[in-house]
Amino acid sequence: MRVTHIKLETFMVKIARTREQEVSCDECAKHSARLIEALMQGNVQEKELLDILHHVLMCMPCSQEFEVLQDCARMDAEDSWPSLDEMWKKIEQSK
């Protein structure tokens, strides 16, 4: 993989944003549901949840998983789950 100026710059920004103590991916997975609930209520003030949010913003795999969980929570709250047929169509279209 060729390293471009933009990739190097993005990498340097991420390094600069690291903290002395980072949350692990396992910790992030354990507390993602609490963070989603707090975000839906507009009340993310606990340091632990802020640390999880920081991790989600920095870690691409956790960010992608968190986005899926957040979408599921939103569909639950709105009672707007697609039908099984609609889900299969979307899966087929994304291939």
Mean of all residue pLDDT scores within the chain:
86
Position 22 confidence tier, pLDDT thresholds 50, 70, 90: confident
Which stretch of 11-20, 53-62, 67-76, 86-95 has the lowest confidence by average pLDDT? Answer: 11-20
Cα(95)–Cα(93) distance, integer angstroms? 6
Cα(82)–Cα(87) distance, integer angstroms? 6
Could you report how far apart the first and last alpha carbons of the chain are, in Å? 24
Checking if the pLDDT of 84 tops 80, the result is: yes
Higher-pLDDT residue of 5, 40: 40
Within its chain, how far is the Cα of 38 from the centroid? 14
pLDDT in tens, 40-80: 999 888 888 999 998 998 889 999 999 999 999 999 999 99
Q: What are phi and psi of 5, to 5 degrees?
A: -60, -40
